[in-house]
Structures are given as C-alpha cells and as structure tokens.
Amino acid sequence: MLGALAEGGVHGHTDLARKLGVGESLVQQMVEDLVRMGYLEPLRRDCCENCTECSSVEVCVGGAQGRAWTFTRKGILAAAKLT
C-alpha cells in the first residue's frame, strides 16, 4: 500500500483496491493502519475536491465522503525509500 501511494498523485479507494487486487474495505483498513502507525494524517476537513488546484495533490490519498489523507514526515521518508 505504501508503495502504491509513494508513486504520487491522488488515489481513491476504488483505484487502490483495483491496483492492489484487494477489496475496498481492506484498503480502508490499510489507510487506517497507516494513520495509526504515523505514516498518514487527515489532510483537512474542508477539502474542496478540486485536486488540480490543490497544493497537496502529490501527497493526497482521497477517501470516501470527501475524506483525504496526506503523508506525515515519517510517511514521506518511508515513501522515499520505496521509490
């Protein structure tokens, strides 16, 4: 999962599930695990969903119902090791 996110861009649960060959519920669990482990954090509650104009587009992980996450410093360092 971290490797797929390290590729950059915006990723929705459906896209990640397809890419990883797993169900969307497992993707949700993986995101929650990465948050719990300190690799991802909520982006902000007022995400405008206009990704082309967002300064966080390179580190955003789009979720259901407008929820979005971004890499923490720890996540950026770990992702850099995978690319």
Which single residue is written with the structure tokens 């390179």? 58
CATH fold of 2-82, please? Arc Repressor Mutant, subunit A (1.10.10)
CA distance 8 to 57: 8
Structure confidence at residue 66 as a pLDDT band (50, 70, 90): low
Span 28-53, pLDDT tens digits: 999 999 999 999 988 765 555 666 66
